[in-house]
Amino acid sequence: MIDECHLLWGDVCGYIWGKMKERILIPVVNSRYKQTYFGALDYKTKEFLTYSAKKGDSLNTINFLEYLRSQRPGAKLLIIWDGASYHRSQQIKDYLDSLNTSLEKEEWLITCERFAPNAPQQNPVEDIWLQAKKLIREFYFFCHSFSVVKALF
């Protein structure tokens, strides 16, 4: 099962206890304000694989799929993902066709299935992203720069 997480600098900001009507400032030096991560949960081994990309799009999705293939050489992959537009793009279809051409469906190198529309609760990767963001919020005091946030994530 795979999903993407778009980590934004504001994600580390949460509620902080302080005196009423007094603004609490935390000095921050940002190296970059956002980072996209692709993540895949190997349901068999329970291993979670991550891949950082500049953004979530068809090209980076293909790069992520290639990364997964490199991590599981010779394996046939079943990818279960949401219906993001770039998961359904012509680029993705062409990529999958190039891999699976002349193979019977049972022999496809990558088979993709979709979760039900608007059902993030079906995808355990969403829970993993949430746990990572909670960790960042709990340890915000270490997060003096976005590079630290990315390292914690």
> Which phi and psi (to 5°) does residue 148 adopt?
-70, -40
Residue 139 has pLDDT above 60, yes or no: yes
pLDDT tens, residue by residue, 57-72: 999 999 999 999 999 9
Domains of the chain: total: 1
Q: Among candidates 117, 88, 85, 80, which has minimal Cα distance to 96?
A: 88
Residue 136 has pLDDT above 90, yes or no: no
pLDDT tens, residue by residue, 105-121: 999 999 999 888 777 78
Residue 104 has pLDDT above 90, yes or no: yes
Residue 15 has pLDDT above 50, yes or no: no
The CATH code of the domain that includes 98 is: 3.30.420.10
* pTM higher than the cut 0.85: no
The single-letter code of the amino acid at 81 is W
**Domain around 60:** 2-152
Distance of CA 7 to the CA centre of its chain: 9
